[in-house]
Amino acid sequence: MQFCPKCGSILIPKVEGSKKRMACSCGYSSKEKEDILLQESLGRKEKVEIVKPEDIEVMPKVDEDCPKCHNKKSYFWTVQTRAGDEAETRFFECVKCKHRWREYS
């Protein structure tokens, strides 16, 4: 690892045409050509599983009948859609058919 003689930052490899040099963000660039070898290795070889946002269930499930498919389970959340002194509006989404509806109190 090399450091900039001007500001002390770490020098990074920079390609200028066909030449490779070590350069800094302050504008410093090494004058001599250097043999630069960049390597990166991961210490572990584990299988990586990608989780999509739509695969994550973050809303609670409740026993509420869907008016469309009559499924017994629905997701549930509340939103304050009216004045602060009035009750919140409850929203539901069917686990099976994804139909959404609301219930006012």
Active site residue 88: no
* Buried residues in 73-85 as b, exposed as e (16+ CB within 10 A): ebbeeeeeeeeee
Active site residue 85: yes
Q: In what order do the strands lie in the sheet with 73-79?
A: 61-63, 73-79, 89-94, 100-103
From 54, 57, 85, 88, active-site residue: 85
From 65, 86, 88, 103, active-site residue: 86
Active-site positions read 85-86
